[in-house]
Chains A and B, each alone.
Chain A
Amino acid sequence: MTLFLLSIMVFLGGQVLPGNVGRAILGPFADQRAVDALNHTLGVDRPLLAQYWGWISNFVQGDMGTSYIFRSPVAPFVIDALGNSMKLAAVAFVLVVPIGILGGVVAALNLNRPLDRIISLGGLSVTVLPEFVTGIILILIFGVWLRWLPISAAWPRDAGFFTQLYYLILPSLPLFLVLFGYIARMARSGMIEALDSDYTRTAVLKGLPWRTVIWRHVLRNALLPTITVIATQTGYLIGGLVVIETLFRYQGIGSLIFTAARGKDFPMLESGILTIGIVYAVATLVADFLYSVLNPRIRLGSDQ
């Protein structure tokens, strides 16, 4: 449902709002006949509904249309780019989920002590910085001054796994920072709520060791909401990819969309965005599934 609406919006945004596509591509001085001819080739002179139907039914079958710029099918570009982006996102994700959760948990266990203040305020500060700002600063520090890491993510041809990883560290760091504060914050507030709960009191008053109380009784309930948040963050993560991939000259879905946008390559642009929508929807589904698996109240419903 959400995807359907999204596809309509993308369609409207990409094909209707710009008005005359042929004119937009060929520029204001092109011959009107050439514009009409191009519009006809592109099929944008058909009725809207027909255009939408053609576009979406092709998309579902894996045909994402033909790029205006490259004059070749969009699909391979999108799939390649998506793969690259996934690599980058995976590195960031694998780093940030455990560290973010750990940060939040540690902060909550040291509530209102200096360590908590540092993690909370530090997390808040890095989370709100635009990726290109942290990116630039990190490039300056690690790429230009210390020369520890390459400043471009474009690894040499035939690079192995570890080389690729090496090239991906710097670009993934800004994404890491943005997500870290967010996840840590959620984990922290979930922990505080769980620590304040009656069931934690019950567990403590049973005489269970503190370690058991935390591991068995607190963590699971505390981190449930964080799981949902992590999934919704995939959307923002992809938004961040647009910037990071541009900054680090990396061939991912973000830079694909960016390039398409600059070149007014609408089929490419629409397919890219719709792909992102699908990734987001899948991530949300996975999160819902995980959440219900971990939460017996949803899994089993109530007998009452």
Chain B
Amino acid sequence: MTNSAKAENALEVTDLSVAYRVAGRNRAVLRNLSLTIGQGEAYGLVGESGCGKSTVALTVVRYLPRNGSITGGTISLDGQNVMKLDAEALRRARAESVSMVYQDPGKALNPSIRVGRQLTEIFELGGISGQAATDRAIAMLNRVRISDPMSVMQRYPHQLSGGMQQRVAIAMALANDPSMLILDEPTTGLDATVEAEVLNLIAQLRQELSASILFISHNLAVVSNMCDRVGVLYAGMLVEEGPTEVVFNDPRHPYTVALLRCLPRGGQRKDQGRLDTIPGFLPGIGADIKGCAFADRCALADDRCRSELPPLYDLGGRLSRCFHHDKAQALPRATPSDVAPVPRAAAAPVLRVTGLNKTYASHGHALRAVKDVSLDLRPGETLGLVGESGSGKTTFARLLLGLVPPDAGGTIELEGKALAPRLENRSDDQIKAMQIVFQNPDSALNRSHSIRHLIGRALKRLAGLSGKALEARLNDLVRSVRLTDRHLAVKPRQLSGGLKQRVAIARAFAGDPRIVVCDEPTSALDVSVQAAILNLLADLQSKEDVSYIFISHDLAVVRYLSDKIAVLYLGRIMELGPSEEVFSGPHHPYTEALLSAVPKLDQTETARIRLDGEIPSATNPPSGCVFHTRCPRKIGPICEQQEPPLSEAQPGHSIRCHIPYAELARLQRAAVTEPA
């Protein structure tokens, strides 16, 4: 190994194989992985969960879980062979040349040590202590755009918001001026607006610092915005690699092609066609793979693909591990795109909500979780609810379902009849008419019961069926969510996340509901699985004429499924209108900011509207317009003094803003933000 002052490459991984020992067997997670990151380069590693992304990161810093072991290959950091370092040399390498930031900054910071101390100890390693270390720490916090470093230094991590915590974590990672910075899903779990800020920060820091970056994410759009080159990982193998733009615009591996097709893009909507899906499942960790790992799920695969491992073809500055790389983009669709057009008769609303409020008591303060929400929903329609966390989306859904009682005064009408505020007082017919699909099927499905019991019980209680009739309906229902008989006997944990969510959907549809609340039903799922679930929901809707209330933080997903959008902020509706109008604008400044925050695959350069500051506390909302503290288009004192009404700007499209509609249109034309 050369030990020159600056090696040619910041990171060289050659033929790396890593295995985890589970139940007495070594299971391969990384298989002969090779990749190179040049000095100052940002390299993105993408793939679905379980493909080994994070293992790459942990191997580079030699911090594998206890049961993990490197079974082959070499890693060289700045020309230094990491595998050969003894404990002290490894410690020095970590102190001096490589840093890492990962998901969930709340856990990454030590809960019982002040932020300042956690920063200064890094400088102490380099022999700087006392006031000098404090000064450096302050400078570092300034660098990550923390406006009040002195007070942040005095705080404990739990006193900071998620976005601030991640800034601190980034400051810590950069404190030793590393040559290699590893970012492992650094923005996953943060709100879109906060994510946008953190990504912005990382992009700016790249200009200022010399560090090379290994950026790991499941989010293709994030990687496409941040990285020069990208590698696609599948079952622990690199299947495609190349310059980011080239790979995403002109993919040469069927897996990449399929993955990109699964995403709703460019404002795609359910009536314009179904999303494509990837059939089958990811091979399990340690699976015995002969030939191409993707062959089982690939429509292009032939006998050769199944028996012989394709080499990484060098296609001139880019690589693809596919025998058929030349025709990868001709990959046939796994799901036909065409949809039967649904004739939509204008009908009376199935749901009408007026003046709904929910106030919680929180440490003696009133917390207005939902404030004065009114809206209605027609049969066969989808209402999308969007907003940052804490905006009241989920509380609103729970109010509708009767899981939490609303404050007195508001009304919920189902098909013209008022619903009792509490679940216990609603009739069986009303109960079955409104059901929910929860975000996390592991929580929503009782793990002690078989799938047959889970769906059967719902049919018995909600549809009042028993015996033969129940059996028959059960089979119908199972088929309609595309499960098969052999799934019925098993317990939920024996199914994958996507299959579990199908069971949850079947259960919600057991009593022929009029309305199904979908609370982030796909956010725990990989994109390929998400596409299949979204298709299923769209199909069921056109077949059953059911209405959805669809909650999601993913605006592209909401847009795909929704006919109508309600944008919530601090429990209030800021904007309500037909989906297309809300997305294409003119829209509320908050909507504008939300849309602008979403990283997009199709364009790299955006004039982002950055939201400053934190989401205010709902116990003490700002006076006047609640959004004025963060609003980029604030017009003056009126915003601070008077709460604007939700007024109808266009027929069916209401906006809660002091700026007149025409003026909004003019302002927003000036800074066109492309739709998600």
Contact = CB atoms under 8 A, between A and B. Distances in A.
Contacts of B122: 206-207
A207 B159 contact: no
Contacts of B87: 210
A93 B276 CA distance: 67
Interface in B90-127: 91-96, 98-100, 102, 104, 107-113, 121-122, 125
B395 interface: no
Nearest to B95: A207
Interface in A262-304: 294-297, 300, 302-304
B92 A202 contact: no
B96 A207 contact: yes
A199 B108 contact: yes
Given A198-B104, A296-B112, A207 B125 contact: yes
B108 A198 contact: yes
A302 to B, nearest CB: 6
B63 A300 contact: no
Contacts of A297: 111-112, 156, 158
Contacts of A294: 112
A208 interface: yes
B179 to A, nearest CB: 13
Please indicate which of the listed interface residues A203, A210, A295 has the most CB atoms of chain B within 10 Å of its own CB: A203
Contact of A201 (B66, B108, B172): B108
B20 to A, nearest CB: 15
A300 B104 contact: no
Nearest to A295: B112
Nearest to A221: B112
A163 interface: no
B161 interface: yes
Contact of A203 (B98, B110, B617): B110
B61 interface: yes
A217 B113 contact: yes
Please indicate which of the listed interface residues A199, A201, A295 has the most CB atoms of chain B within 10 Å of its own CB: A199
A304 B161 contact: yes
Please indicate which of the listed interface residues A207, A303, A304 has the most CB atoms of chain B within 10 Å of its own CB: A207
A87 interface: no
A124 B372 CA distance: 59
B9 interface: no
Residues of B in contact with A, size category: 35 or more
Interface in A195-224: 197-199, 201-210, 212, 216-217, 220-221, 224
- Determine chain A's interface SS by DSSP, over half rule: helix
Contacts of B213: none
Interface in A111-139: 111
B158 A302 contact: yes
A204 B108 contact: no
Contact of A202 (B158, B159, B169): B169
Please indicate which of the listed interface residues B92, B112, B169 has the most CB atoms of chain A within 10 Å of its own CB: B112
Interface string A179-200: 0000000000000000001110
B440 interface: no
B11 to A, nearest CB: 15
Contact of A205 (B92, B99, B104): B99
B111 A202 contact: no
Contact of B172 (A202, A221, A295, A300): A202
Given A204-B94, A209-B91, A216-B121, A199 B110 contact: yes
B63 A205 contact: yes
B112 A201 contact: no
A205 B100 contact: yes
B176 interface: yes
Interface string B151-183: 000011011110000000100100010000000
Contacts of A198: 102, 104, 107-108
A220 B94 contact: no
A294 B113 CA distance: 10
A197 B157 CA distance: 15
Contacts of A221: 110-112
Nearest to A200: B110
Contacts of A224: 112
Interface of B: 61, 63, 66, 87, 91-96, 98-100, 102, 104, 107-113, 121-122, 125, 155-156, 158-161, 169, 172, 176, 617
Given A202-B109, A208-B91, A300-B156, 7 more contacts: A198-B104, A199-B110, A205-B98, A207-B122, A297-B158, A303-B155, A303-B160
9 contacts: A199-B110, A201-B108, A206-B176, A207-B122, A207-B125, A295-B112, A296-B111, A297-B156, A300-B159
